[in-house]
Structure 1
Amino acid sequence: MPRLIEKLLGSLLTLSSSSLFAANQTDTQQSIQATVEYSQFTTKRQVVDQLLIDAATAFKSPARISHAGFTAKMPSNMEIVTNRLLEAYDLEPYRTDLLISAANAQIYNKNADRAIELFEKVLSVAPEDVDAHSYLAVWQHFTGNDAESAKHMKVLESLNPGRAADMQRIFDTVNRIVETPLKTTFDKAQDGNTAIIRLGYALNPDGSMHDILIQRLEMTLAFAKKQPKSLIVLTGGVPKNHKTEGKLMADWLVEKGIDRSRIIEDNYARSTVENALYSSYALARHDIDHATIISSASHVRRGQTLFEIASWQTGPKDITFDTVSAADKPLDELKVPTDGELLGIYRDALRTYGMWSYRSYPLEQR
């Protein structure tokens, strides 16, 4: 036992000497230390935990804005989220996940330039981070910096050829869908196993369906009668007064004569990303060849992009999609997507693909 104690003391003395030696060195081989003063707190861990709790609280704040059924966090909340995450990063400069989460908060805030700065900061400490290069390839392309986007794609090809191919596939998918003219009428009946996908629309506070949702259900009903063998996927799970869009839409269609056995309810999806992720398993289970998505004209391009990406993982392998738009605005005004719509398409495409926007517990969100 004395010999063991002597050995431990010797190790401690060696560590102490090494620490003193390192402290007197002027070369670059020094550890990164936090520059923020936190001595007034019990531990640094408590400070970081509280900052992340504050960020999660701001993110989950009930203050929201909603247009055409699309729900987004208030920009002011996103500034709070970003600031708290960056304060936490100042204390823990090895936590690059905090930078990625902060950058994505700026994407939600529609500030792609600020997000790019933060993703670049990730590369300054982790130059081979595959996710950071992926984000930068997308957002530099979105802001029109194609040369910078190509640079990150080239790095991706050397680091992870599969990821580079997937990013290119996302670009190609978005380009094809954006260039496809919107339509408000149904094409001729499709052959094979077909499905109709009706994306939800926010319920009224009392849990009743909005007139816009009923109008779109009437479109769904007409198409369901035109294609009597098609399955009908009704997706929407944001509860209002203990009711969900999926269940109310199903009851409405059954009352109008649609056989309930044709209907698949998704009462859990809280966003278009979850609409696609959850419903894609239903499409795979029934080996659907073609699905038609019905939603607002300002929403269908994003919906189709996400459903296509979700199907890459779940199948069916050769499934195809098209869309029918409820004209919330004149189609001529929506012929070219706005920057806001295109940002939403790319943001949610990455989320559906599997790149989580927020990855810093307790703020974790796909």
Structure 2
Amino acid sequence: MKNLKKKLGLALAVTLSTVTFATAYSTTAEPTTAATSENVNENTIRNDEPTSDRINQFKDIAMYYYWHGGDIQQAEKDIFKGITLKGKYDVVENAFKEATLLDPYDLDLKLSLASTQIIQKKTPEALQTYKQILNLDPNHFNANLLYGVYSKVNGDNSSYKSSISNLKQIDAKKTNEYLQKLETTETILDENLNTSAPADLPQKDHAIVILGYALAEDGSMREPLIERLKAGLAIAKQYPNSKIIVTGGVPKQGITEADAMSNWLISQGIEKDRIILENKSTDTVENGLFSTAILDKEGIKDVTLVTSASHMRRALTVFKEASDFYNKMNGNNIDRNFTNVVYLDYPSLEEAHKVSKDEILVIYRDLIRTSGIWQYPGLQR
């Protein structure tokens, strides 16, 4: 614990005094070799430490805030003096900005910075960061792809076409694979959303996948998750032979989303042996990847996804990409069929079918993540 606090400049020990840091976030970075005299102010990242250690400290701070947040005012005081922060992703962004100043040659740090800007929907800033990467390495495949896709989302089709042209010169086969993924996603954007189950779903080799939603701090389920479960329960009663996969692995008070969902379904009369827990995922991308592994193992070709209307197009994109990946990895040719049932979190179904620019941005972000390109290279998918 002592070494870990020193490694983070002790700033997080102050900022996150109510958290046992060693159990909340584990790091694989090397411990600091800087002087540790008791009379040295250790509430800041010190300039008398090796540059690599200081970079790792900023990366650790970024990843901690990405997951847990913290006291923003304390971060302003102890880590980012003179910078006004607005939220936890502001801390992540500024940590990577500081890291890129320490090593302006490290393109992975720049990719991480751009990803945080995308999370905050700061698309122009992210595009500028990707442009820096491409100025340094014009043949960087991932940067070209990300720059092109987000340019298109931002309404700049000329830059998108230029990026695709560059990508074809770098790796034509890989580029064509991504063009197919983008085309599939375009189709999903026009998908009809259903508020009840279709009447002609298969009576066997069919699964209902109910996507999780973050639990409250006391471990209870929030309204969106309960509504998703109600929608899933209706289908489960309509198709009693279908397996039910519940997803979500982030624990609160020792219980995961999948655990809570399973308990609720059982309390509503669903047999326990129908339910399969996917309790390792931390977000939609991992919901898709880890649930697809279960679908493959169970030999299930027909899937009904259940989630909120605002989340469904992203879920369908992720699950389709995950299914294609598993086909490729295992040498299979499973033409998995996806249907959907939504909890309507819009005023009307008509409103739900309108796709905003912000939603498109997040859909493409998660498509790219599911395809294997990490948001934070070497740190976080």
TM-score by length of 1: 0.81
What is the match of residue 25 of structure 1?
Answer: none
Q: Tell me if 1:334 matches 2:352.
A: yes
**Aligned counterpart, 2:291:** 279
Q: 1:325 to 1:265 in 2, by over 3 A?
A: same
Structure 1 residue matching 2:68: 3-state secondary structure: coil
Aligned to 2:69: 62
DSSP-derived class of the 1:264 partner: strand
The equivalent of 2:225 in structure 1 is 213
Q: Is the 8 A contact 2:250 2:282 kept in 1?
A: yes
Which of 353, 357, 364 is the matching residue for 2:371?
A: 353
| Equivalences, count | 317
Q: Counterparts in 2 of 1:184-263, with a 5 A limit?
A: 184-191=195-202, 193-263=205-275
Contact 2:228 2:342 in 1 (8 A): no
Distance in 2 of aligned mates of 1:56 and 1:204: 21
Query: Percent identity between the aligned chains?
Result: 33
| Higher RCO (C-alpha under 8 Å, 6+ residues apart) | 1
Shift of 1:79: 2.9
TM-score (norm 2): 0.78
Alpha-carbon contact 1:41-1:47 (below 8 Å) kept: no
Using a 3 Å threshold, how does the CA distance of structure 1 residues 82 and 255 change in structure 2: closer, same or farther? closer
RMSD: 2.2
Secondary structure in 2 aligned to 1:206?
A: coil
- Are the structure 2 counterparts of residues 97 and 262 from structure 1 closer, same or farther at C-alpha, using a change threshold of 3 Å? same
Whichever structure has more strand as a proportion of its residues is 1
Note the alpha carbon deviations across 1:337-356, whole angstroms, 9 max, x for none.
12221111111111111100
Distance 1:236 1:43, change over 3 A: closer
Q: 1:133 to 1:77 in 2, by over 3 A?
A: same
1:179 to 190, 202, 217: 190
TM superposition shift of 1:39: 10
- Paired AA for residue 180 in structure 1: E
Q: List alignment gaps of at least 5 residues for structure 1.
A: 1-37, 65-73
- The residue number in structure 2 matching 1:343 is 361
1:75–1:109 CA contact under 8 A, matched in 2:
no
Structure 2 residue aligned with 1:321, among 326, 338, 349?
338
1:15-39 superposed Cα distances (whole Å, 9 cap, x missing partner): xxxxxxxxxxxxxxxxxxxxxxx99
Q: Could you tell which deviates more after superposition, 185-194 or 336-345?
A: 185-194
- Is 2:82 aligned against 1:78? no
Counterpart for residue 109 of structure 2: 98
**Residue 291, structure 1, aligned to residue 303, structure 2:** yes
> 2:228·2:307 contact (CA, 8 Å) conserved in 1?
yes
Residue number in structure 2 paired with 1:11: none
| Alignment partners' CA distance in 1, 2:98 and 2:267 | 54
- 8 Å CA contact 2:207, 2:304 repeated in 1: yes
Counterpart CA distance in 2 for 1:60 and 1:213 is 20
Q: Is the 1:224–1:232 Cα contact (8 Å) retained in structure 2?
A: yes
Q: CA deviation at 1:295?
A: 0.8
Distance 2:46 2:220 in 1: 53
Give the equivalent residue in structure 1 for 2:53: 46
State the shift of 1:238 in Å: 1.9
Name whichever of 334-343 and 137-146 sits farther off: 334-343
- After superposition, the C-alpha distances for 1:151-196 in whole angstroms (9 at most, x for unaligned) are 1111111211232123212221221111122221211232352111
| Match 1:266 to one of 270, 274, 278 | 278
